[in-house]
Structure 1
Amino acid sequence: MAIVFFVHLHWVTTGFDMDFLDRQIKIPLSNRTIPVKYALVHTAYWVLITGFFLYEKRYLIYKAGLPYFVACVVIRVALLIGIAYLNLHYLLPRYLLTGRYLRYVSLVLLSIVGYLLIQAFYDYLIYGFIIAPTQSRNWLETLSYNFFSTLWYLGLMVPLKLSIDWYEQQRLLQKIAVEKLQAEVNFLRSQVNPHFLFNILNNLYALTLKKSDLAPDMVLKLSEMMEYMLYDSNDTRVPLEREINYLQNYIELEKLRCGDYSDIALHIQGSPNGQEIAPLLLLPLVENAFKHGIGKQAEKSWLHGTLTLKPTAVDITIENNKPTTLPKNAKGGIGLTNLRKRLELLYPGRYTLQTEDRLNTYKAALHISFAES
């Protein structure tokens, strides 16, 4: 039955407005408050218990009359509610959960004995006087029935409470995991932006030193990229078309810096098809190639890229030549490491990132599937 109520709890908490179900309500004659969903689940439980007693004691309507029938059910349910919540809110947290098992069992048995004394008195009144001519009772059998039935109903409340507590704990852990993921993504994204700006500003500085006529065009493209980076990239998903445009602007800026002596080309195949992607995922492959490949060579540098757009996936391959030997003071970038972490957070199990570091060339290939398996 506890499983039934756990399923009921899941249905309640997923089928309605969570804000309403999490709202706190005050318990009558008490300063304590409980969530609405807690009240709904427990109300459903006691409605079922009351229904069972109504069915079990229905013969009293004919033998003792409706008032005694109602009183019998009300007294039984009220007593059960009393010892159940004494157990849940006092005995369970104070003794069982603190490892004081013997004290807990003793006090539970004592509360059941109190229930039996009150119930036995009422049973004696009902069966000993009111319907005595038509009903005889074995007191040992009556006490045994009341004891084990009470223990049974009391025991049901413990797994019910533990089920609710477990579910709430899982919801809390899930919420913490989502918040942690978002915090990590935001942190990793904040690392991308300064890294990118550092490279572009260096490029612009080089053009201004040469008094190049290309500087104004570079500033315009940079302003478009800054708009994307400052506003669109704060969203969890952006149109794939915008991400591609951002990538193309970056490549055009690098072309302006490198001049005619470099062979730089990105071939795009297919259409974005209205797909969305997490922002700033395609740039690190290209940025890494310029920073550690073309940017380290004075001439005869090249970068060839292919961006393939599919209905449910995107593939990008970037290959470039690089110096045979790197300077001893060369600093490693955070780009690809950052990218791999973001992919693991945003597209777990739906991406592949492969790199080939050869003597004179470097190749990186990224596949992202938009369809969840």
Structure 2
Amino acid sequence: MNPVKNRAYITILLHLLVWMLFAFILLFYQPLSWNVQLPYQFWFKQSGVLIMLVTVFYVNSNILVPQLLMKNNNLGFILVILAIIIAVGPLVNMLDDSLHLPELMDKAFSASGVLRPFRKKDRLDIFQIMMTLMIVGISTSVTLIQKWQADKQQREALEKERIGSELSFLKAQINPHFFFNTLNNIYALTHVDVENSRRALHKLSRMMRYLLYDTQAGITPLSKEVSFIVDYLELMKLRLNDTTKVSFEGPLVSQDINIAPMLFLPYIENAFKHGVSAVEPSVIRIELSLEDKVLELKVINTIFNENAEIVDSYGGIGLTNTKRRLDLLYPGKHTFSAMKVEERNEFVVHLTLVIDDPELYSR
């Protein structure tokens, strides 16, 4: 069944139960203690009072609170509520007089030999006033809570839509950035090694298939992301000489988890950008581990470009967008650091993600 319809049915049921409780109080609570054969006009009058309370509830809920209180016209709201409370007493007295209820009640009590509870006609009906105040309070509270919940749901929906749009935009920026660099590498390779360039195109096509079909849901199994990284590293190795050593240590995944795709690639890309030299020995080491729902990535590379010291400029648009995606997808559940280790002349990127959502674990 539709959740919206479910909530509507539950709301209607709650309203009915509350009004049944008020009906019991008005129609039966006092008569049960009187032991008197009451005239039907009494029940008619009490039913009229119940209808009056129902009217006050829904007029306040649908008109007064939205039109006055929610528009910051507090004084007007208070004055209207006071007017309603003041008018309740005369309206009830008019109903009593029109039904000749005081005389009929006196006769009923006299016939039963029961002493009738004394109340002067011009005396304020405190019970009726308190009932009206209670109805106004409940109506105002329920309406304000419903408005707060509706506003919250609207804010969450707008925020979800904004985040979705922003993530799509950021992902669209990251992917062309990656393919631009990779195609440049393959183009250069075609001039020196046709066979290897064919292998590179095959790996690239497999990677494109992954991006087109396996990442559209916004999440991907960690095992597939690891395979994507392996393909990327193999692709990059085709253009490297023996002076560069590339190593990758992946996690032993006993229970696969889902993560946002393409989170790690910009850091690995930048390791190749800043950590490769045509003549000097260089090392690129990628370590990815998963332990106790904490996914940890380390990317270590030798430095040949002094600009790598500045983290914000390290990687350009790819790294900037990835950091933004982390803020959107894993708020408060990730840590990131990037620093130069002077004694080893290395640059180290360290990222941790806390994967504590049970829905992210594949069945």
Larger deviation, residues 159-168 vs 299-308: 299-308
Change (3 A) 1:183 1:297: farther
Change (3 A) 1:185 1:291: same
1:370 aligned residue: 355
Secondary structure at 2:215's aligned position in 1?
A: helix
Change (3 A) 1:184 1:324: closer
2:113 aligned residue: none
TM-score normalised per structure 2: 0.83
Q: Contact between 1:272 and 1:310, CA under 8 Å: does it hold in 2?
A: no
Per-residue deviation, residues 303-356 of structure 1 (Å, max 9, x unmatched): 1222223352322211111215459xx985123322222222222233222211
1:77 to 29, 35, 50: 50
Mapped to 2, the partners of 1:237 and 1:66 lie a distance apart of 71
Matches of residues 91-240 of structure 1 in structure 2 within 5 Å? 91-124=64-97, 125=99, 127-133=101-107, 134=109, 135=116, 136-240=118-222
Shift of 1:173: 1.8
Mapped to 2, the partners of 1:309 and 1:149 lie a distance apart of 61
Q: Contact between 2:267 and 2:315, CA under 8 Å: does it hold in 1?
A: no
Are positions 1:42 and 2:27 aligned together? no
Shift of 1:58: 3.2
In structure 2, the gaps of 5 or more residues are 110-115, 359-363
Q: Partner amino acid for 1:206?
A: A
In structure 1, the gaps of 5 or more residues are 1-15, 23-34
RMSD of aligned Cα (Å) = 2.9
Q: Partner amino acid for 1:282?
A: F
Change (3 A) 1:69 1:209: farther
Larger deviation, residues 300-309 vs 199-208: 300-309
Shift of 1:234: 1.5
Mapped to 1, the partners of 2:73 and 2:306 lie a distance apart of 69
Q: Contact between 1:60 and 1:66, CA under 8 Å: does it hold in 2?
A: no
1:346 aligned residue: 329
1:20 aligned residue: 5
Mapped to 2, the partners of 1:184 and 1:270 lie a distance apart of 33
2:287 aligned residue: 306
Change (3 A) 1:346 1:78: same
Q: Partner amino acid for 1:348?
A: P
Shift of 1:77: 1.1
Larger deviation, residues 63-72 vs 203-212: 63-72
Mapped to 1, the partners of 2:153 and 2:10 lie a distance apart of 14
Secondary structure at 1:266's aligned position in 2?
A: strand
Percent same amino acid among aligned pairs?
Answer: 28
Are positions 1:59 and 2:32 aligned together? yes
Mapped to 1, the partners of 2:152 and 2:43 lie a distance apart of 41
Mapped to 2, the partners of 1:275 and 1:66 lie a distance apart of 73
Shift of 1:78: 0.4
Shift of 1:366: 1.7
Larger deviation, residues 54-63 vs 156-165: 54-63
Q: Contact between 1:64 and 1:130, CA under 8 Å: does it hold in 2?
A: no
Per-residue deviation, residues 111-166 of structure 1 (Å, max 9, x unmatched): 33443223113345465122204224322445343234323322321112111111
Q: Contact between 2:65 and 2:143, CA under 8 Å: does it hold in 1?
A: no
Q: Contact between 1:261 and 1:301, CA under 8 Å: does it hold in 2?
A: yes
Secondary structure at 2:156's aligned position in 1?
A: helix
Secondary structure at 1:92's aligned position in 2?
A: helix
1:315 aligned residue: 296
Change (3 A) 1:273 1:48: same
Tell me which of the two structures has the higher relative contact order, counting C-alpha pairs closer than 8 angstroms and 6 or more residues apart.
2
TM-score normalised per structure 1: 0.81
Mapped to 2, the partners of 1:42 and 1:216 lie a distance apart of 71
Q: Partner amino acid for 2:58?
A: Y
Larger deviation, residues 301-310 vs 277-286: 301-310
Are positions 1:356 and 2:329 aligned together? no
Q: Contact between 1:306 and 1:316, CA under 8 Å: does it hold in 2?
A: yes
Mapped to 1, the partners of 2:224 and 2:280 lie a distance apart of 32
Q: Contact between 2:271 and 2:284, CA under 8 Å: does it hold in 1?
A: yes
